[in-house]
Structure 1
Amino acid sequence: MKSIPECLFHSRSLACKKPYGAAPAGKKVEFAAYPRREQGISRMTLWVEEDGQQAEAYPMRWFGLAGARDEYGASFTPPHAGLYWYWFTFDTADGPRFCARGYGGRCEVLDSMGDRFQLTVYDPSYRPPRWFGEGITYNIFPDRFCRDRDPVQPEGEGIAPRVLHENWDDLPVYRPDEHGEILNNDFFGGTLRGVLSKLDYFESLHVRTLYFNPIFQAYSNHRYDTGDYKRIDPLLGNEEDFKTLCSEAAKRGMRVVLDGVFNHTGYDSRYFNGRGRYDSLGAHQSKDSPYCPWYEFSEWPDQYGSWWGIYTLPQVNERNPDYQSFIFRDADSVVRRWLRLGASGWRLDVADELPDDFIAGLNVAAKQEKPDALVIGEVWEDASNKIAYSERRRYFGGGELDSVMNYPLRDAILAYLNGGTAEHFAETMETLRENYPRDVFYNLMNIIGTHDTARALTVLGVMSEDWKKSRDERAHYELPPDRLETAKRRLRLAAVIQFTMPGSPTIYYGDEAGRQGFEDPFNRRTYPWGAEDREILAFYRRLCEVRADSETLIRGELRFDTGENDALLRYERTLGRSRIIVLVNRSRQEVRTGVNALYALDLLTQREFDCEDSSGIEITVPAETAYLLQCFGSAE
């Protein structure tokens, strides 16, 4: 007998909707609704609207009684990939009613139109590469991770004079110059060979993907102002260094993913050549430049579109055929070339500012070069229904993005650990799980820190008033001992959640070593080799080991169990007969809870829990503690 929901319709119940969540195009989606008999319903209708089109009505048949409820059903077969919306109407003696989307996927009966339910439809023939989501990722900010030599002022075409730090532990330059600009042209000299020398370190963390922030020649230390897409920044090394790194990493089962900054170039670049450092004829120098049509000038040469109005980041017209050929269509295009040289995929910077056809074309080119190439997008919100520049995006229909950066997970983790409820965290994740195709949900880049965010340890330790400190104060700020201990406990909880969600847990370099820092550039300080927080690092190593060795955490189903206690986050990962229950207690008081098992083993500490009677195991979760319980057997 199927389990009937307690409301008229629940979008996450298989009794109401099959399949769960996103649906493949061309396959029937079945809907069932269960109004109470005393409502006296005479007719029910399912309404389906393809995004931006006219809604269509699907009369629902009465299928009989279901306890104290009637059962009505209808089906809809989405003809093609895209975003669809649905809702229900029914007639009563008191007039028509609307069944709209309420909290948690539950139906809300209203007198007028309310929020609609979302149905994401994808192309079933398109399968994102699974290797990414199944492994652990390490995010490297190239200039600040590791150097194999003292930095030397590079020379050559396009190279601007650079400020070189001899001391690896210096603060990055953060004050404006005499013209009021922060140039970001101070370098610490991290190199590709430095990364190569740390492959043993990555192996100790069971890393399977090395994701690099930009590595191409650029004026700035962050290198998001690309100067030459086809040249490794000489301070980092050269093309041979890159090939060697990819080759040696592959021998250890690791892949390399590059950052593709294709929405804008650098002002100081081969293409725009605003400072005339390149031998090429740039768009800023002549309207006859082959690169001039790439840019949009309102008044040549000094008035042009730029990313967020930053003059050093002139925007390109991604629909320009020549630009597309250069980036991904030509045999020696940027995307294809670096894949051939050893990369396994691309992360697209500001993906919501790249047109859908540009992303789709890039994806095709990448897959032609390497069938299992990965294309990840930087999207900060729910990417399934994202609207950018008044246009609905088609990221997950098939053939665009294989994954996105999971900022909603980061936000939900930090909100929960800073006093939010377990229910709110679960709702955030369940919304994504319902809206994303399963292959995408299990392929997400799960982050708690990036080069664009303050360090996780800092966010979890500072007081609200600390964010109001002056820039000089924030530059030198270190958490006091009591706050540091609190932050470390919370960081462990954050990492447990991150590593037990479907998708690739992604470590931002130095987070695992206890690095602190507010906003850019304080979140981009060098990796503290030899001065790591050994306690945090040991915890990460153990957590990485658990995640790498567990097929259940890699591929298992996810089910939340909330409502018992706002401070206790509880969920299960299951695969076949294997069952792992995750218990996270963010409060400063212990929490007691029951576990339906005869025996349980905490995978983090190897602590054992036995059933004292047939009712299961009673577990006390200490304050600010997480258990990762491998469970065996079931209580009566």
Structure 2
Amino acid sequence: MSVPDWVQDAVFYQIFPDRFANGDPNNDPPNVQPWGSQPTIWGFQGGDLRGISNRLDYLLDLGVDAIYLNPIFRSTSNHRYNTLDYFQIDPKLGDLDDFHTLVDRLHRRGMRLILDGVFNHCGRGHFAFVDVLENQEHSPYRDWFHIRHFPVDAYSPGEASDYLAWWGIKSLPKLNTDNPATRQYLLQVARYWIEQGADGWRLDVPNEIDDDSFWAEFRHAVKSINPDAYLVGEIWKADGRWVGDGHFDGLMNYPLRECVLNLLHPAPSDTSGCAALLENLTRLYPYENVKAMYNLLGSHDTERALTALQDNVSRLRLAYAFLFAYPGAPAIYYGDEIGLTGGKDPYCRAAFPWDETRWNQELRGWVKFLIRLRKSHPVLRRGAYVHLIADNRRHCFAFARRLGDQSLLAVYNTGAVTRHLRVPVQSVGWEDGRHVRNLLGQGEALVADASLYLHLPPFSAMWLM
């Protein structure tokens, strides 16, 4: 199996297209809401592809290598998970020329683009489902869906009963990937956008297409055009089934997110339990896939990281210090780096405030600093993971990354009290008398008795080399 080499070196940035930047007010819908207004389930605020293109230098300055866009194909909703046409850019976001401009500007900056593929279901306005509604059992597309009985009704109140739909929502009919025509249509979509310049796919709810052969064909279709394309699945639980030759290069690492945020939440946490999970996540998958995991603290489906940490910026800084030291590709949800807050959908989907006076500049500077360190030290991107300690009583834990004869020790105090900590370093290969320095700030330490003796302030981290 070949996992794209570039992914383990990448820093991802997720963008909800309607809320990042408005580069062309002429494509705004008539009912557009003011930029920065309270996000709602159905409202649009005017973000588009041209706006993203115009702001790439902001991302480049931050250190981002790749962007992942929520769906961009024609749809009636701001989230666009109810696709009407998989081959057309939503006119509210621009057109194919705008897409090509974005791809060109990204690639000229050495950046990549990942698209969101929603292939389990479509919108009820999709041409094939409209034909079913109009022609019922006589429709040539009746087998594109899971029809239970005719007549099919998609607009009366209540959950779908005539056909399968995602979570029973009538507006989201489930596609039948067992049907050869449906299958070939979706594979054509997958190939088309890679041919147009996309660098990979994030696959929405792939576990609901519980068909290994479909995903094997999907992988082959994409990789036959671009072997370096990145395939990442939205799987919420740790599950080794979903990575490998027949599936994906990596997964959205929600178990990692849950573990880190629980560890840093003000409520009492199980430090040793979290540390064990973090170690197990590096063993569950082949290590080349571990390095290709999409490691996140938040997304369009979760409350924002700062909100999850009860608006405590010190805890969020520590979470980022963990994210950028752990194996896998770190991912930033747009605006988290400047301190945006918000609960679950729709409140986590607020418009990006381009007025810099509203940014937490210290937090953004910290994230930028961590990205620069990660890029400067291959051991952080490619090194093996070595668990060292986990102390429930003192809320401290430590691990190392090892690459050849290089080692980096990452130590964390997740509590509100200063701690003095002894960290054994035999497994790191450091001998007595060795001086190591803290990459995250001032200070040095000396190896003695095969250990480091460290002083950690509250909510602090040290990266020692």
Give yes or no for TM over 0.5: yes
Aligned-partner residue type, residue 204 of structure 1: D
Q: 1:614 to 1:510 in 2, by over 3 A?
A: same
- Please give the per-residue CA displacement for 1:530-569, whole angstroms capped at 9, x wherever unaligned: 2211121111111111112210000011111124454002
* Counterpart contact for 1:346–1:376, Cα < 8 Å: yes
2:289 pairs with 1:440: yes
The 2-side partners of 1:397 and 1:443 are apart by 11
Q: Distance in 2 between matches of 1:543 and 1:186?
A: 35
Match of 2:31 in 1: 163
Give the corresponding residue for 1:561.
388
Correspondent of 2:225 among 369, 383, 406: 369
| Closer/same/farther in 2, CA of residues 612 and 496 from structure 1, 3 Å limit | closer
CA shift, 1:397, in A, is: 4.5
% identical aligned pairs: 37
Structure 2 residue 193 is the aligned partner of structure 1 residue 338 = yes
Q: Verify the 8 A CA contact 2:390 2:398 in the aligned structure 1.
A: no
1:589 aligns with 2:438: no
Tell me how far 1:496 sits from its aligned partner: 1.1
Superimposed CA distance per residue, residues 369-421 of structure 1 (whole angstroms, 9 cap, x where no aligned partner):
1111221111000121xxxxxxxxx4234231111110110011011112323
Pick from 380, 383, 389 the counterpart of residue 239 of structure 2: 383
Alpha-carbon shift at residue 613 of structure 1 (Å): 6.8
- In the alignment, the residues of structure 2 paired with residue 417 and residue 594 of structure 1 have an alpha-carbon distance, to the nearest angstrom, of 21
2:458 corresponding residue in structure 1: 623
1:220 paired residue number? 77
Match of 2:389, SS state, is: coil
Instruction: Give 2:157's aligned residue.
Output: none
Matched, 1:301 2:155: no
Give the 3-state SS of the residue equivalent to 1:286 in structure 2.
helix
- 3-state DSSP class of the match of 2:464? strand
Rounded Cα–Cα distance in structure 2 between residues aligned with 1:194 and 1:397:
36
Query: 2 CA distance for matches of 1:510 and 1:238?
Result: 25
Q: Is the 8 A contact 1:141 1:524 kept in 2?
A: yes
Residue 106 of structure 2 corresponds to residue 249 of structure 1: yes
Aligned residues between the structures: 441
* Larger mean Cα displacement after TM superposition, 140-149 or 613-622: 613-622
Given the superposition, is the C-alpha separation of residues 294 and 594 from structure 1 closer, same or farther in structure 2, using an over 3 Å criterion? Answer: same
SS at match of 2:139: coil
- Tell me the amino acid that sits aligned with residue 528 of structure 1: P
Match of 2:335 in 1: 510
Supply the AA of the counterpart residue of 2:367.
Y
Asked if the contact 2:27–2:93 (Cα under 8 Å) also holds between the matched residues in 1, the reply is: no
Query: Deviation at 1:615?
Result: 6.8
2:119 maps to 1:262: yes
Q: Which amino acid aligns with 2:191?
A: R
Equivalence for 1:193: 50
Letter in 1 for 2:225: E
Q: Is the 8 A contact 1:267 1:311 kept in 2?
A: yes
Q: Give ranges in structure 2 of 5+ residues lacking alignment.
A: 154-161
1:589-612, CA deviations, whole angstroms, 9 ceiling, x for partnerless residues? 01112355632222222x131439
SS in 2 for 1:139: strand
1:417 corresponds to which of 264, 267, 270: 264
CA–CA distance in structure 1, aligned partners of residues 375 and 383 of structure 2: 13
- State whether structure 2 residue 177 is matched by structure 1 residue 318: yes
Q: Does 1:600 align with 2:457?
A: no
Equivalents in 1 of 2:391, 2:164: separation in Å?
A: 53
1 or 2, which has the higher helix percentage?
A: 2
Aligned residue for 1:203? 60
2-structure distance, mates of 1:147, 1:599: 51
CA distance in 1, matches of 2:55, 2:28: 24
Which position in structure 2 is the counterpart of 1:499?
324
Find the counterpart in structure 1 of residue 300 from structure 2.
451
Per the normalisation by structure 1, the TM-score is: 0.67
Residue 14 of structure 2 corresponds to residue 139 of structure 1: yes
1:515 and 1:615 map into 2 onto residues whose CA distance is: 43
Q: Secondary structure at the match of 1:363?
A: helix
Encode CA deviations 1:108-142: one digit per residue, 9 max, x unaligned.
xxxxxxxxxxxxxxxxxx12222123210011111
Range with bigger deviation, 309-318 or 284-293: 284-293
Q: Deviations over 1:218-248 (max 9, x none)?
A: 0110000011100001111111111111111
- Aligned CA-pair RMSD: 1.7
The SS at the match of 1:362 is helix
- The 3-state SS of whatever aligns with 1:369 is coil
Q: Within 2, Cα distance between the matches of 1:434 and 1:327?
A: 33
SS at 1:399's partner residue?
coil
C-alpha distance in 1, partners of 2:8/2:347? Answer: 29
Kindly provide the CA deviation profile for residues 481-505 of structure 1, in whole angstroms up to 9, marking residues without a partner as x.
xxx3xx1011111111111111100
Kindly report which structure 2 residues correspond to 1:442-481, keeping only aligned pairs within 5 A, or say none: 442-461=291-310
Counterpart for residue 403 of structure 1: 250
Per-residue deviation, 1:614: 7.3
1:335-365 superposed Cα distances (whole Å, 9 cap, x missing partner): 1111011101111100101121111111000
Q: Is the 8 A contact 1:285 1:301 kept in 2?
A: no
How many Å apart are 1:334 and its aligned residue? Answer: 0.7
Whether contact under 8 Å (1:283, 1:295) holds in the other structure is no
Helix, strand or coil at the partner of 1:293: helix
TM-score using structure 2 length: 0.91
> By how many angstroms is 1:152 displaced?
4.1
Pairwise CA distance, 1:262:
0.2
- 8 Å Cα contact 1:305-1:314 kept in structure 2: yes
Distance 1:613 1:133, change over 3 A: closer
Q: Following the alignment from structure 1 to structure 2, what is the Cα–Cα distance between the partners of residues 615 and 443?
A: 33
Q: How far, CA to CA, are the matches of 2:367 and 2:282 in structure 1?
A: 26
**Aligned amino acid, residue 389 of structure 2:** T
Larger relative contact order (CA 8 Å, sep ≥ 6): 2
Secondary structure of 2:371's aligned partner: helix
